Chain A
Amino acid sequence: MAEEYVIETRGLTKEYDGTVAVRDLNLRVRKGEVFGVLGPNGSGKTTTILMLLGLTDPTAGEMRVLGFDPMRQPLSVKARVGYLPDQVGFYDELTARENLIYIAKLNGIPRKEAYRRIDEALAQMGLADVADRPVATFSRGMRQRLGLAEILIKRPQLVILDEPTQGLDPQAAREFLDIIRDLRSHGISVLLASHLLYQVQAVCDRVGLFHKGRMVLEGTVQELARQILGGGYRVQVEAEGPREILLQALRKVPDTLSVQPVNGRVYELLAQRDVRPEAAQAVVQAGGKLLSLMLEEPNLEEIYARYFQEVEHESARAAA
């Protein structure tokens, strides 16, 4: 298997007594990228993560994580992969530092080195002041950051985050996204499972959409937009002039899929890319007066909603 992938699975399948949690999954995550795993609850995201860590055995299929087989070499995998489970828990009666010392010991990090890394990680996560307070007093955001500090003391090559921003306030969530970007800038690959689409779009290079145990879509947000929305770029043109002529002119703009008059002077173009310059030119050439141009980039939220709409539609049709 190629070196450039940190995660590679082939035909990965997991059945829990009769029900299929993950079906025939072919997932590839490149080195250094942030990959977002999307999907509704129960779509197989967490099961996939547990399989990648060797915490549950797949029913069928093959996988490689950082070149190791999680089923046969779980220790090598777990020594190099940092994992932040959803709703991370700590030993409440121990202090933040004590919790990290336990993890460092389990990782077999020599004491001196461990203490150095712990101080460093706590400082990096902004927890240096509360390092010797029991975790029971920590807020959810602080626990989440402590979870990341724990990951950092391992010096991981790959970080797997399961719903890390769930239940965080907007400020904490934004900080968390900054930390993820920071990880990437240090060359650490990230697998981020979430259903908070806006956040996934904000940090992920590529995303995979899970539905009923299958990865049904995969690619960059632009690619998905093209696939599902048939474009995804919406350009709103506000122009004065004879409606029919303007419509006709706008329809001729290259890479434009459709043009809809919205009201009075506003037209909406659905395009495969940012066509603002061409649209402006078209309006002017048709003798119209251009008043404003607005671009809406493809939106993961919309892709997601549209995809599940279609799926429902199809299943309804199949049922009928």
Chain B
Amino acid sequence: MSQHVLRRERAREGSPWTGMWAVVAKEMADNLTSARMHILELLIALTAVGAVYGAIQEIMNTISEDRFLFLKLFTEGRLPMPAFLEFLGFLVPLLAIAMSFDAINGEFNRRTMSRILAQPIYRDALLFGKFLAHLFTLALVLTAIWLLIIGLGIVRLGLPPSGEEMARLLWFLLATIFYGGIWLALAMVLSIEFRQPATAALSAIAVWLFFAVFWKMIANVLAPVISPVRYGFPEEQLRLVQTQLFLWRLSPNTLYGEIAMALLRPEIRVMGFISPVQLSGAILGTPLPLSQSLLLVWPQMTGLVAATILLFALGYVLFQRQEIRA
């Protein structure tokens, strides 16, 4: 009995979500009206139209029959224009970082933090509300672009997408949003850690550059160090390739790339190293059903979501411990 009373005494009163939706509404309104978001949205829309236009030209030039024409809108590129998928790989992080790099330190710099936290809400509501609002904005922008591309495809190709294609595209959209989630969470952590928004933005962009450009090179150098090939046995070669793959997959860019490939290219049946055993009995070039493609990249999907949650949790802990006075 006394222990029960004690526990109730110790518990915080009320719900940590009080006021969260007010924060979400305010932040979304800010995001959707801010100039920096308009510029980025315009940029993405332009690249989308350009890339998809190139893809359509490419598709029209090929005469071979294909069941998944709509998926090619995202994966085909017409030189010198890369495919829209590749654009997304670096535009989504940019969009996410642009939204979140001043999420928390901006409140401190505007001296609104103590005023907001003096309202009857917990810090949880502010942080979670901001994250959700940014994620919703990202989802909104990406969905709009996604619909734009599909619409362009219907008009230019003159045929509607099949149910299977739509299902694959929906999963792809979802994966893209979660890929953005990682960068949102990262930018948020940095905006908590650094009081200067410029520092937070630059370090977020540094991390993004690191994974987008340098990580594969570094992984290729590191892999032989971790799993050296001494005598040239096939086992050693295999181990080297596996180490390399593992290192690559530490980067969210690789994870996202693999997910997108598996979802948008149904004929892909293995990620990474293919042993002859895996190919026995397979008819090359035949597409996998959606459920099998999903199964193929399920670990990557889980990885993306887990990384987002981990980063957010880190930010949460940092923010809870932060002293309010500057």
Contacts and interface: CB of A to CB of B under 8 A. Distances in A.
Contact of B112 (A16, A74, A91, A105): A91
Nearest to B324: A55
Nearest to A162: B114
Interface in A81-113: 81, 83, 85, 87-93, 102-103, 105-108
A298 B267 CA distance: 91
Given A50-B324, A74-B122, A75-B120, A105 B12 contact: no
B204 to A, nearest CB: 23
A75 B14 contact: yes
A248 interface: no
Interface string A64-78: 000000001111101
A13 interface: no
A70 to B, nearest CB: 11
B120 A107 contact: yes
B13 A106 contact: no
Counting chain A CB atoms within 10 Å of each CB, the highest count among B110, B112, B114, B117 belongs to: B114
Interface stretch (B18-26, B36-44, B76-84, B180-188): B18-26
Nearest to B323: A56
Nearest to B322: A56
B111 interface: yes
Q: Which of A46, A76, A108, A150 has the most CB of B within 10 A?
A: A108
B22 A106 contact: yes
Contacts of B317: none
Interface string A236-265: 000000000000000000000000000000
B26 A88 contact: no
Interface residues of A, number: 32
A108 B15 CA distance: 13
A76 B25 CA distance: 24
Given A83-B118, A106-B119, A74 B325 contact: no
Contacts of B23: 106
Chain B interface helix/strand/loop/mixed: loop
A56 B322 CA distance: 9
A122 interface: no
B14 A50 contact: no
Nearest to B114: A85
Contacts of A76: 13, 120
B19 A106 contact: yes
A233 B86 CA distance: 82
Given A50-B325, A56-B323, A89-B110, A106 B121 contact: yes
Contacts of B13: 72-76
B115 A107 contact: no
A216 interface: no
A108 B12 CA distance: 19
B112 A89 contact: yes
B115 A88 contact: yes
A150 B22 CA distance: 16
A93 B172 CA distance: 36
Interface of A: 16, 46-47, 50, 53, 55-56, 72-76, 78-79, 81, 83, 85, 87-93, 102-103, 105-108, 147, 150
When A and B form their complex, which 8 residue pairs have the shortest distance between CB atoms, in order from nearest? Answer: A89-B111, A105-B22, A83-B118, A79-B120, A106-B119, A78-B120, A75-B14, A85-B114
Given A74-B12, A89-B111, A150-B115, 18 more contacts: A50-B324, A55-B114, A56-B325, A75-B120, A75-B122, A76-B120, A78-B119, A83-B118, A85-B115, A89-B115, A93-B30, A102-B26, A105-B19, A105-B25, A106-B19, A106-B116, A106-B119, A107-B19
